[in-house]
Structure 1
Amino acid sequence: MSRSERVALYFVASPLQYLAAKRIAENFEQGARQVLVWYKPGLMSIVKAEEWDACSYLPWPRLEPLPGLFGRHRRLRENIRLVAALVGSCETLVIHSAVFDTEAINYFLHALPKACGASHMHARILPDGLISIRRYPLSLGKRILQHTRKMRRMFAPELKYRCFSGDRIGSDAPFCDRIYVLPGLPNEYPAEKAALLPPLVKAVTVLRAKDISEKCALVVGQPLVDTGLLKESDMHALSEEISKWLVDHGIKKVHYKAHPKDPRHELRRPDYQLVAPADALETYLASHYYDAVIGVRSSALLFARQIYPPAVEVVAFGWDRINFKSRQEQEDMRNVFDSCGVRFA
């Protein structure tokens, strides 16, 4: 492989991050060698390898260590070799990730430029839905943990952890020079670092056929009880509330989109038809018409409101039952949903 002038590398863990990486490649990194790495196995179904110069799945060291002694440590080193081979020799390396405090990503900041012979390295942050509207300062304990990760360098010189303070995703770190943000969503990042992405998908062009009288709604699932956001008893009441709303609005046909981390399909009722889009949900919405999109606090509701015309109902349920981390978090999220035009039931 010949030496590249510039390589844009993207570490992605969700369909939203994948769509953001595509927009960055198209609008901000034209001419660069485009390399995609995903570290959630479920993303394989939406990755189109032909759209990238190189791409691969990256095993998460903590979840998929190599067999034998020090398997996690050896997986970290193996991952660096894997990604270095994808990137190849280059002059400038631009690393994109939604977060930089995790050891599975952080070690690349030091090791990869050296492995690829890069003279210049930039680290940039991918948007991550609702998580990106607020700052999450590193606690003292987390900052101490960062320094303990430096000890790996005693056994592997390339594993040098880049410590930083402030926001845990790395937005305040000196190595980060740009933070990509989504249109329509507020953020608390420094204005001089923030870069606005174009819409992840174009507005919907598929309208409900005039000869189809039956209305159809999409219920967007997400883990609520299993993540401690909702009590089991409240889940049943919430499900009844959604069902009543659908009946009151004359909607009998209901599709259900499950969340990858929601194996129980908590919000699904027996008469809901399960849909499993091959593409990211946002892309699926842009090519499928629904009379209503229903959910709780999923960021998919925000994008549905941006994609669909005003005639489509986009409604959030159950906020009076959800266990938010703080009143401030609830107010911040409610303001975002309000500003995007999502209704509250």
Structure 2
Amino acid sequence: MDYQSHRFCVAPMMDWTDRHCRTFHRLMTRKARLYTEMVTAEAVIHGDRARLLGFDGAERPLALQLGGSDPARLAEAAAIGEAAGYDEINLNIGCPSSRVQEGRFGACLMAEPELVAACASAMTARVRIPVTVKCRIGIDDQDSEADLSRFIATVADAGISTFIVHARKAWLEGLSPKENREVPSLDYARVYRLKASRPDLTIVLNGGIETLAASADHLEHVDGVMLGRAAYQTPYILAGIDRTFFAAHEPEPARGEILNRLVPYVRDHLARGGRLNSVTRHILGLYHGQPRARQFRRHLSEHGVGEGPGLDVLMEAIAIAERREDTAIPASAAAVGA
């Protein structure tokens, strides 16, 4: 397994890319790089590490995304992440939410490249795994190409060689985080020019990418692509990644096969006292565009919420989607990661 490749990544997304989501995604692609939700450095240092940082080895290659602006605290959190087994530490310099700004981290730090460089330097000095930065192309009125080039150069000089660049600027006031994912115009060409001007750096493009064909087009200009909402809302797109971008020879897994392989994970999760919906909320889009997608989603949404639902609800949903009469757990269901 290539733990260094950023050729294809699934974006860190708050309230989305938890360990259940990542386990599901990994059943469709062994090669794409996965990311955690953003976790603040303070939470890593003082919080419940088993809950915040726990993951299964089958999720690798896996990066931990951190938020913060204190170099010493970020370095300590990065070291904790490395000890936990992560393959990369990613620093969030892209989130535009007001709550994040109040904590002085996220996209607002693009106005302080020297501080970001100090954070990067402290983190890279503390860990042996790669430290990367995820940023925007600009913020507010500070969004010229020169501003982006200066930010990248300053942080690169501190030891960062991989940048994931969301090809929209962020408005720190006046737009919600949701609007900041949609309203500012995408400027892929600026990211292309950044790569052309800094061939020594690994540049990964993020923002508005919806198909594997579009991903392939972008890879003519940059080193990697990162899918966000498309990977979550239409997750079966991930099943084509390994053959398309990593020359894998295995056939793409069918949707029913993916869910059958998820069954042992769900069973174990329920046995530990977890709720069915904690896992199944991530699979609602698996049959997007298929004949019985609506019935599949409706069954899970109506019968899979709360403390009571068990594995039978998932098996019934699979039977609906696959038009099967038998809702028993397949004897051939392989363990996750097999």
TM-score, with normalisation over the residues of structure 2? Answer: 0.34
Which structure is higher in RCO with an 8 Å CA cutoff and minimum separation 6?
Answer: 2
Larger radius of gyration: 1
Structure ranking higher in strand proportion: 1
TM-score, with normalisation over the residues of structure 1? Answer: 0.33
